[in-house]
């Protein structure tokens, strides 16, 4: 019974660790030190191209809220610089947007003329973020009563239990 409890606790810990690892995405400050503002026309395109975005990552928009805002729009709104049908709007000057799905995201500034001048951002989200489970370190097989190999998940559970 005690051993079953330990195994269950070990498995729970393992699952918690895996889910924690999955929920921590990267945080990207949009525009880096320039922030969210009017730059040259291709600035944000170039900025986004240099990154690889995944579900769980966070986009941080920093800007002067007296001058700019952030409007999430659809593809058409992005290309036409039209903020009339916003998906979401932000105006605190320090807004975090978490990428929730692998759909592409489009943001523009709602201040007249800013999007046209290049304050627009398209985020292409990479499909399928396969959770990276590091391979367990080599195991001394003598430590296993049965010897031989074991299924990967069982090995990991045994390793986790061994941490207790
Ligand atoms: Cu603006």
pLDDT tens digits, residue range 124-147?
999 864 555 555 555 554 444 444
Q: Flag whether 2 is in a domain.
A: no
Model pLDDT, residue 2: 55
Whether 46 contacts 17, CB under 8 Å: no
The confidence band for 1, taking pLDDT boundaries of 50, 70 and 90, is low
Q: Flag whether 41 is in a domain.
A: yes
Predicted TM-score (pTM) of this structure: 0.66
Cα(50) to centroid(ligand 1), Å: 22
Q: Flag whether 43 is in a domain.
A: yes
Q: Domain of 110: which CATH number? A: 2.60.40.420
Model pLDDT, residue 152: 55
Whether pLDDT at 18 is above 50 = no
Q: Flag whether 110 is in a domain.
A: yes
- C-alpha 41/C-alpha 113 separation (Å) is 12
Q: Flag whether 108 is in a domain.
A: yes
Cα(120) to centroid(ligand 1), Å: 9
Model pLDDT, residue 127: 82
Cα(122) to centroid(ligand 1), Å: 15
Q: Flag whether 15 is in a domain.
A: no
- Residue 65: give the domain boundaries: 24-123
Cα(102) to centroid(ligand 1), Å: 26
How many independent structural domains does the chain possess?
1
Q: Flag whether 12 is in a domain.
A: no
């Amino acid at each position: 019974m005690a051993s079953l409890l330990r195994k269950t606790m070990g498995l729970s810990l393992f699952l918690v660790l895996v889910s924690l690892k999955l929920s921590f995405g990267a945080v990207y400050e949009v525009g880096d030190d320039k922030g969210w503002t009017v730059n040259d026309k291709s600035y944000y395109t170039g900025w986004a191209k240099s990154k690889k975005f995944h579900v769980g990552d966070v986009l941080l928009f920093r800007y002067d809220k007296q001058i700019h805002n952030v409007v999430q729009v659809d593809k058409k709104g992005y290309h036409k610089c039209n903020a009339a049908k916003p998906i979401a709007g932000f105006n605190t000057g320090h807004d975090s947007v978490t990428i929730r799905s692998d759909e592409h995201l489009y943001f523009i500034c709602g201040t007249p003329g800013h999007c046209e001048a290049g304050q627009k951002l398209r985020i292409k989200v990479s499909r399928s973020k396969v959770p990276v489970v590091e391979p367990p370190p080599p195991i001394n097989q003598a430590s296993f009563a049965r010897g031989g190999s074991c299924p990967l998940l069982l090995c990991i559970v045994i390793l986790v239990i061994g941490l207790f």
